[in-house]
């Protein structure tokens, strides 16, 4: 067993021992023999390199690292309960079957389902996880039989997951994330100082907030495994909800797009219309929309908050709209086009701080009322960060407080 491919029966045995403070009582709860429970606990302890339980004549008691592990495994179990409840709801199956399902599903089956969801075929999924195709196919079909609802559909491009399977995948990935969190927290308890952090970053955060926070945390905790993911908001949100990303940082959405995430504002971000230093419009004391429409624009892709504001300034059916519009999701490209032409853009003031400092870009003298956007963090509802993840959040909050004082 490994934490990447867990034996869920062993984890349930550990929970039962913690709850009952007795090997024999735990064995009855999980329908295993006493030697099997003892062996299961010992295997998990060897894997983690710590003792989860203190064995005494008067009973079996959870140690400090054991408390860490038990809390995470309880959260894992909760996610599996939610997964089976959703499958029963979508498939309109009876509740009695649900109660059995979350206790019967195996780690091998979860791993197979997740691999198929990522690969889109049985053969590629088997290759990706390093098992034979028949073994993976058997595990996937056994899970489908347990759920008593269809999980897979054949398509011309391979295998598609049903709605029930997609729901199961999301909760399964969140469940397995808890084991990774447990491993990091126990390593920290043993004296390690780092851990895993995956950040979904939107453009403003990459230029104004994250660099300082990352540099500071890596200097203090150099063994931290930190990864920054960028991309369209919807892709980042999907990664967050499925456990591939720990937190998002950037412009918050109103309303919150889904009910299983929460947003935490760090500061308000004013927008500005920006052009190159010595732009012809800088010679005018008062600018009008017609003046702005006379020049080319470089704008973000649709769906970005700044693009939405651009569309309110120059509606397609409003008659007053720039003739030359370049759409791009690359902030680097926008900055370079502005510094080498008379194009304009609407952008956060924070995102051009460096260019202003070095005399490349500047704000145009025009007010943009009611354009402050809330910038902050988006996390999963009920998320329990590790100490290193919480440390990063606190650093981001401190940096944001300093940024907010600039305006």
Do the two domains 8-108+163-171 and 193-268+379-404 of this chain adopt the same fold?
A: no
Please tell me the distance from the alpha carbon of residue 405 to that of residue 401, in angstroms, as a whole number: 7
Q: What is the dotted CATH code of the domain comprising 8-108+163-171?
A: 1.10.10.10
pLDDT in tens, the chain (407 residues): 456 678 999 999 999 999 999 999 999 999 999 999 999 999 999 999 999 999 998 889 999 999 999 999 999 999 999 988 888 777 655 555 555 778 889 999 999 999 999 999 999 999 999 999 999 999 999 999 988 889 999 887 788 999 999 999 999 999 999 999 999 999 999 887 779 999 999 877 777 688 889 999 999 999 999 999 988 899 999 999 999 999 999 889 989 999 999 999 998 888 999 999 999 999 998 999 999 999 999 999 888 888 988 999 998 887 789 999 999 988 889 999 999 999 999 998 778 878 888 899 999 999 888 888 899 999 999 999 999 999 999 999 999 888 766 55
Class of domain 193-268+379-404: alpha beta
List of residues 6+ apart from 73 with CB closer than 8 A: 11, 14, 15, 178, 179, 182
Structure tokens at 141: 């079909």
Which residues pair with residue 265 across a beta bridge? 376
- Residue 53, helix vs strand vs coil: strand
Domain boundaries, the chain: 8-108+163-171, 193-268+379-404, 271-371
Q: Which of 362, 235, 242, 348 is nearest to 300 (CA)?
A: 348
- Residue 139, helix vs strand vs coil: helix
Please tell me the distance from the alpha carbon of residue 402 to that of residue 26, in angstroms, as a whole number: 53
Q: Which of 377, 373, 374, 383 is nearest to 396 (CA)?
A: 377
Class of domain 271-371: alpha beta
In this structure, are residues 326 and 299 in contact, taking their beta carbons and an 8 Å threshold?
yes
Please tell me the distance from the alpha carbon of residue 9 to that of residue 147, in angstroms, as a whole number: 18
């Amino acid at each position: 067993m490994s934490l990447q491919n867990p034996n869920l029966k062993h984890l349930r045995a550990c929970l039962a021992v913690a709850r009952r403070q007795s090997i024999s009582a735990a064995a009855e709860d999980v329908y295993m023999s006493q030697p099997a429970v003892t062996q299961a606990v010992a295997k998990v302890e060897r894997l983690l390199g710590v003792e989860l339980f203190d064995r005494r004549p008067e009973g079996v008691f959870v140690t400090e690292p054991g408390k860490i592990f038990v809390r995470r495994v309880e959260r894992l179990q909760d996610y599996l309960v939610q997964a089976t409840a959703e499958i029963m709801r979508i498939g309109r199956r009876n509740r009695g079957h649900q109660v059995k399902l979350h206790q019967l599903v195996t780690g091998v089956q979860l791993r197979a389902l997740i691999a198929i969801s990522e690969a889109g075929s049985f053969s590629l999924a088997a290759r990706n996880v390093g098992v034979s195709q028949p073994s993976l196919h058997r595990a996937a079909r056994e899970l489908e039989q347990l759920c008593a609802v269809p999980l897979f559909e054949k398509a011309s491009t391979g295998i598609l997951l049903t709605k029930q399977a997609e729901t199961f995948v999301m909760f399964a990935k969140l469940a397995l994330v808890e084991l990774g969190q447990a491993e990091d927290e126990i390593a920290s308890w043993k004296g390690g100082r780092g851990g895993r952090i995956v950040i979904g970053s939107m453009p403003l955060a990459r230029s104004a907030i994250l660099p300082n926070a990352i540099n500071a945390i890596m200097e203090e905790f150099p063994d931290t495994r930190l990864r920054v993911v960028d991309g369209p908001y919807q892709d980042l949100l999907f990664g967050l909800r499925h456990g591939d990303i720990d937190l998002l940082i950037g412009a918050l959405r109103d309303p919150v797009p889904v009910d299983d995430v929460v947003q935490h504002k760090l500061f308000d971000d004013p927008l500005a219309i920006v052009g190159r230093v010595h732009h012809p419009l800088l010679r005018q004391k008062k600018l009008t929309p017609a003046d702005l429409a006379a020049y080319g624009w470089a704008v973000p892709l649709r769906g970005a908050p700044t693009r939405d504001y651009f569309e309110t300034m120059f509606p397609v059916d409003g008659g007053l709209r720039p003739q030359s519009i370049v759409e791009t999701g690359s902030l680097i490209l926008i900055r370079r086009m502005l510094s080498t032409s008379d194009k304009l853009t609407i952008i956060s003031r924070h995102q051009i701080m460096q260019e202003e400092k070095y005399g490349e870009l500047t704000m145009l003298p025009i007010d943009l009322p009611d354009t402050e956007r809330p910038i902050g963090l988006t996390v999963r509802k009920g998320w329990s960060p590790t100490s290193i993840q919480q440390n990063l959040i606190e650093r981001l909050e401190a940096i944001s407080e300093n940024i907010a004082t600039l305006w």
